[in-house]
Amino acid sequence: MEIAFIGRSNVGKSTLINTLAGRKSLARVSAVPGKTATINFYGVEHIWLVDLPGYGYAKTSKSEQERLRRLITGYLAADRDLQLVVQLIDMRHAPSAEDVAMIDRLIDEEIPFIIVFTKADKLNKTEREKRMAAFAEEIPCFADIHAIPFSAKTFEGQDVLRELLSDIASEENEEDGTDDEA
Ligand SMILES: Nc1nc2c(ncn2[C@@H]2O[C@H](COP(=O)(O)OP(=O)(O)O)[C@@H](O)[C@H]2O)c(=O)[nH]1
Ligand SMILES: [Mg+2]
């Protein structure tokens, strides 16, 4: 089974994957945006964490951006055991048009997904409240979406996310009949 991480370049996908995997440098974190140009799979217990290429990095050429878009589209269209998409959005900023298009598509295609707001440590309480109110207007069906603020610095949101992953993994095991405790 797979859990895929989608979002803009530099939003914190690799960092989140490393945090959830409990390793420092499984997925490569880079200070230079636009570095993950392929799809990387990281095996953790019985789950594949899928680091999709980041979109929307302005300095990437048009043709390369198109190639990345096709990679992501191809991934989502393929018949795979995709249990959850984690859509990442930098908590400091409004979602980009591409973020919103991706969310619309996840809703349309009935792909289960959550939103993780990254870099939550960079906002104070007031900024956070303002952003959350704005997200409710900017993100389609926001009231129905499970959204989790996350920080790799303070580890806010880590426990909730870990629990969600282990719930998904154990549901999967029950369906497979491969539950170790059985
Ligand atoms: N302050 C802060 N910085 C973060 C956080 N998550 C990621 N970053 C930084 O954001 C940059 C991009 O992170 P990376 O995981 O490589 O983003 P990716 O391109 O989406 O994979 C790096 O410099 C990270 O250290 C966070 O929660 N808090
Ligand atoms: Mg990355």
pLDDT in tens, 110-165: 999 999 999 999 999 999 999 999 999 999 999 999 999 999 999 999 999 999 98
- Between the two ends of the chain, the Cα-to-Cα distance in Å is 20
Q: Is the CB of 15 under 6 A from ligand 1?
A: yes
Residue 182 pLDDT class (50, 70, 90 cuts): very low
Q: Where are the alpha helices (DSSP H) in the chain?
A: 13-21, 62-77, 97-108, 125-138, 158-176
Q: Is the CB of 34 under 6 A from ligand 1?
A: no
Length, in residues, of the chain: 182
For residue 155, the ligand closest to its alpha carbon is 1
Give domain limits for the chain. Answer: 2-39+48-81+89-124+135-175
The closest-lying atom of ligand 1 relative to the alpha carbon of residue 88 is: 20
> Of 42, 40, 13, 53, which Cα lies nearest the Cα of 29?
13
Read off the pLDDT of residues 24-78 as tens digits, 9 standing for 90 and up: 666 666 655 555 577 888 888 788 999 998 887 777 788 888 888 889 999 998 8
d(CA 35, CA 155): 24
The pLDDT, as a whole number, for residue 30 is: 60
- Answer for the pair 87, 115: CB distance below 8 angstroms, yes or no: yes
The pLDDT, as a whole number, for residue 31 is: 56
CATH topology of domain 2-39+48-81+89-124+135-175: Rossmann fold (3.40.50)
Residue 22 pLDDT class (50, 70, 90 cuts): confident
For residue 56, the ligand closest to its alpha carbon is 1
User: pTM value?
Assistant: 0.90
> Of 74, 124, 7, which Cα lies nearest the Cα of 66?
74
The closest-lying atom of ligand 1 relative to the alpha carbon of residue 10 is: 19
Nearest Cα residue to atom 2 of ligand 1: 119
Count of beta carbons in the 10 Å neighbourhood of residue 121: 14
* CA 27–ligand 2 middle distance (angstroms): 7
Task: Provide Rg for the chain, Cα atoms.
Answer: 16
Nearest Cα residue to atom 26 of ligand 1: 119
d(CA 144, CA 107): 11
Which one of 8, 9, 15, 150 would you pick to mutate in the ligand 1 pocket, going by the greatest count of ligand atoms within 8 A of its CB? 15
